[in-house]
Structure 1
Amino acid sequence: MDAHLPERRIPTLQNAPFVHWLRRLGVVFLGVGVVGSALTALLTPERLAPNYIVGFFFILSVAVTATFMTALLFLVRAGWSAVIRRIVEFIASPLPFLLLGLLPFALLPGTFFHWIHELHAGDPILGSKSWYLNEPFFLVRLLLYALIWAAMYRFLIGNSLRQDTLPEGDWTPTRRNLRWAAAWVLLYGLSFTFASVDLLMALEPHWYSTIFGVYVFAASFTATIATVTLLVVALREQGYLRDFVTVEHYHDLGKLLFAFCIFWAYIAFSQYMLIWYGNLPEETVYFLKRMGQGTWQVFGILLPVFRFVLPFLLLLRRDAKRTPAVLVTASVIVLVGHYLDLAWIVLPAFAPSLRWGWQELTLFVGFLGVFMLLLTRLMVRVPAVARDPYLEESLHTVSG
């Protein structure tokens, strides 16, 4: 804890052209989303709710999992990651604002979840789950998720930012994060699992999978690593992190992305294989709806290609993990796969025969714009590298 900071100028992004470009792109994307939402509300209003879930959960899953990733880096004392931890915090920074996106679920639950409606009161399956799937308890759970995630963000990122303001040798905020990281990891695991069940699996309350929470975590953590990788590579190649981030950090990020693409494939195959082998109608109907004719069959084929096959092949070689262009390509593919994944989970629950169209594209682009604009708020306010007792170690890390 007494390690000194190296004599290097900590970069700031307040006047960085890249950040201003990202902000302008966010405004354009948000404009596309607003126009798309208005047209969708006029022409096909039934498509608003499912696309809201897809777009909102995409950016929420990345932001809240980036906060978890911050806790994880503190927990395992990952010295190599000290120079990129602030980038992870940037990606987590939209979280406090995104929690407001839970309000539509609280105010209009019947728009999203058919188990709310009274006409299903005589359903024996829903009746057996009514202790969990009831509106008051659902609202309590939403409030708990928001409180846990807000507290996690305020504690972890708040301490990290506070560390920047303290004199050399005072690592009190960092010690707090190290001491409490395990508790936040546990709280994230519980809250994100139940949130995945409530916002995604409960769209089809007759179906269930005991591995679903792990599946959504694997998907979200892989997408978060991809987002971190994109931002780290972009900032280094633009020159802002050139004195801090090396190809060794590229290699570590590439290994993480490679590993969790495999982990996602393992969990996805385990879920599918067990349901296929069990061949129970209440379980198989979920996949039958998504593997028949049309759009969802195509999505089902593309999903493992984008989430596993292409990233696996791209990142298999050691030199590929150290090459910026390959890392960017693999990260973009993974993020496209994350969208396909969420669309494949959500949209067929509302309309099995729906064809993917401009409504889905424009609404999702709008959510990306929201994320970009919120992301740049913190980027222009604080240094791009956090003060950390492991910073010297991180600067000289050598990846195996």
Structure 2
Amino acid sequence: MSEKTTEQAATTKPFSFKLLKTEGMARRGEITTPHGKVRTPAFMPVGTQATVKAMYPQQVRDLGADVVLGNTYHLMLRPTAERIAKLGGLHKFMGWDHTILTDSGGFQVMSLSGLRKMTEEGVTFSSHHDGSKHFMSPERSVEIQGLLGSDIQMQLDECIALPAERSEVERAMQLSLRWAERSRNQFESMGGPQKGQGLYGIVQGGDVPDLRIESAQRLGELPMEGYSVGGLAVGEPQAVMLKMLEITTPAMPNDKPRYLMGVGTPEDILESVARGIDQFDCVMPTRAGRHGLAYTRFGKVNLKNARHSEDPRPLDEESQCEAASKYSRAYLHHLVRVNEGLGAMLLTWNNLAYYQYLMQGIRDAIDEGRFEEFRQQTKEDWARGDLEPYVWS
């Protein structure tokens, strides 16, 4: 090892999590990675293919995001993890100097790929792009994430759709536990802890309470830097998801971050924070923006609706985001109706701004011991909505 490399290794801060404040089960904390601090609870914008769709990286940062998510499955296919590594890693490749979390690719292998064959060793699958054959194992998933250089990496797991038979849920849960141990061994052999990176285990167990608890407890015996809850928001009602969180989070280590994967709506996030979750990711705000739907303090606003065609009001005149405060609903409606790219850009900007506004409000409320008050007031604002059409005077 060169003198410079030795010095870099010695000065790399280890991955850490600090719990700063609690109110009930709600938690306020701070994650430290080699690329900075992540304030929790945190919403992580999804940058599937090394970009948060319709947004500049600096815009995402300016909205308050400390971390974005990249996707192992998509990046391993195009442009390949090896190419990104040659170009200096994912941070440099996408122009994001802050924390990056990569998922394992497992969900996409199960949901997007063509013919696939699963064994104890891993999954052989066909690319949804061109049908080419690939193999993903716990070791290969961690290897790819290491090549990408992400700060937070995920174990490979098997995520099944709900509802499902108990026997199938238990089989997938047990397999995911065995894969967690293999993922951990690979992560340590690649020097992840020495680089200040973190590996998260994934709790499975579907909608079966005792399987969720068993998965959380056994995962907690592995020296992971964080733990996530997977296999929810995959078709089950919200009430089922929240019930699973209520029984799962108490069984998870208290001194490590907790990440609910693929969730969700603003209401999902608010209710999940109340049940002990620290991190979230979801394509919803960006996807909704590309399809004419805005998230605001007053609930959802569908800009495709003709009632907005002559409405001069902005989405939210008090918002610090120009997409919400500067442009009229009539203009946004027009952009959506004629399929102009600017419409998708402005509504994505608005949506991510609102999500980060919500997260900052949650963090402040926990800090100040008024989270429950904030939770109820926010739900009342959504319920009251902003449904009255504009009336010309």
The two structures share one fold, judged by TM-score above 0.5: no
Q: What TM-score comes out, normalization by structure 2 length?
A: 0.25
TM-score (norm. length: structure 1): 0.25
Whose RCO is larger (CA < 8 A, sep 6+)?
A: 1
Greater helix percent: which structure? 1
Between Structure 1 and Structure 2, the one with more strand by share is 2
